[in-house]
Amino acid sequence: MGKVAVGAAVVCAAAVCAAAALVVRHRMQSSGRWARAMAILKEVEEKCGTPISKLRQVADAMTVEMHAGLASEGGSKLKMLISYVDNLPTGDEKGLFYALDLGGTNFRVLRVQLGGKDKSVVNQEFDEVSIPPHLMTGTSEELFDFIARALEKFVATEGEGFHPAPGRQRELGFTFSFPVRQLSISSGTLIKWTKGFNIEDAVGQDVVGELTKSMEKIGLDMRVAALVNDTIGTLAGGRYHNQDVAAAVILGTGTNAAYVERAHAIPKWHGLLPKSGEMVINMEWGNFRSSHLPLTEYDQALDVESLNPGEQIFEKIISGMYLGEVVRRVLSRMAEEADFFGDTVPPKLQIPFILRTPDMSAMHHDTSPDLRVVGGKLKDILEISNTSLKMRKTIVELCDIVATRGARLSAAGIFGILKKLGRDTVRDGEKQKSVIALDGGLYEHYTKFSACMESTLKELLGGEIAESIVIEHSNDGSGIGAALLAASHSQYVGVEES
């Protein structure tokens, strides 16, 4: 019996040793995997780095490209489009004005009653209309007839508080958020459709002419006074409330900037200089690119697989459409190379754009002790459960790296505009106040992004100048802004109301 007992004890001990060895090997493997995941994160952090010296290089490159784009057509990656808006609202505008905002599968019709200097916007109403899917790929006539009928119906509901001036034509500002070659303040030809529209016979046509034909057909007496995009609408809305507004930036699904340029500083402008001496420039800054931009392999892969490779590089690293996708691509690599989510790569994680920026923002802002929101998002969107607190913390850190890069580069872009305008320094001991009007869901809802952008801009400007540069949220530029531009470009400007 003694031998048997000893034998059993030896076998037992061997089994315990084997089990312990397995545990140790598993721990070593898992710590090896964790180290690999951390190495991937560290590399992303380094490649996304935006030290202040790099941001200054980006801002300088933005200024150089702005000069090049103003000098000649096609001279720069920045289109620097002449908007023909040479009269921004002053706040003195009076009367009833309409706006039409077409930029996606819905459009809005809007009216505002303006009361002049002391009363500003006395009254406003709007209505939203869905575009039937068949009209998005039909004919130009069908689409604009549908829009004209919706406008006619909206005009018919003009009630108390809205007073069209007797004997005057109603006037409309038209926000058309598709690529347009602007020909004047109230005309422009469609370059191409985006966002699911594909109406071939409208390409190359003047969109204001098309809308006007449809309105005339049903006897709707309304003049399109201004054709603008949403960024210029935001600039107009900002300027209406504050005459120190010098530029507008949209940070939403996409991104763009517009600003007020001195007309004589636009070499490619061959027309008569406007009376105001100013011209609004639509930068189309999403297409900016520079060797100084901190791009990673994830950005390059995203670009190659996109619908517009080589285009909109700046937009692809700072805007809401793409931030969540960059995070997804890094997590996917961590899952493949470091088994970050276990032995298999979660199938949902391999679906492009499944992780949206609002979800990334929710995870980034999670302050619960166990990062409950992060766990919930991983489960609901990617079907990944059983995540440890350590893993959740890593994901929050990744969100921070990607959002911080985008926010700091946005600030560098704004700094570039201020440099171009000479507002980055104190001139002759005078501090000129400059306001930047901002709009877009990314700026409005992703608090850590906007806070980081604003503090970075202060850092770039330095204490003294930072006091005279203000960022203001300018809400609904594409709606009210367009109506205000109809007012400032009205055919009745300078004609006293009888």
296 occurs within a structural domain: no
Amino acid at 394: T
State the Cα–Cα distance between residues 84 and 182, nearest whole angstrom.
Answer: 8
In a domain? residue 483:
yes
202: in domain? yes
* Residue given tokens 């023909």 in the structure block: 84
pLDDT for residue 453 is more than 50: yes
Q: pLDDT tens for residues 265-306?
A: 999 998 888 888 999 999 999 999 999 999 999 999 999 998
Is 230 tagged catalytic?
yes
CA atoms within 13 A on the CB side of 231: 27
pLDDT in tens, 8-20: 555 555 555 455 5
Among residues 230, 299, 366, 424, the one annotated as catalytic is 230
Q: Is residue 157 domain-resident?
A: yes
Residue 311 within a domain:
no
Residue 349 pLDDT = 97
Per-residue confidence (pLDDT) for residue 25, from 0 to 100: 47
pTM to 2 decimal places: 0.88
d(CA 427, CA 356): 44
Which residue bears the tokens 């004609």? 495
Structural domain boundaries, residue 166: 82-241+476-489
Residue 498 has pLDDT above 50, yes or no: no
Query: For 155-169, 311-325, 340-354, which range has the lowest pLDDT when averaged over its residues?
Result: 155-169
The answer to the question of residue 132 being in a domain is: yes
- In the chain, the number of structural domains is 1
Q: pLDDT digit string (tens) for 330-376?
A: 999 999 999 999 999 999 999 999 999 999 999 999 999 999 999 99
135 domain residue, yes or no: yes
312 domain residue, yes or no: no
> So what's the pLDDT on residue 103?
79
Q: Give per-residue pLDDT as tens, 189-219.
A: 998 887 778 899 999 999 999 999 999 999 9
Could you please report the per-residue DSSP string of 5-68? HHHHHHHHHHHHHHHHHHHHHHHHHHHHHHHHHHHHHHHHHHHT---HHHHHHHHHHHHHHHHH
Confidence of residue 307 (pLDDT cuts 50, 70, 90): confident
Dist. CA 176–CA 494, nearest whole Å: 27
% pLDDT > 90, the chain: 71
**For residue 177, what is the domain's CATH number?**
3.30.420.40
101 is catalytic: no
Q: How many angstroms separate the CA atoms of 12 and 259, rounded? A: 79
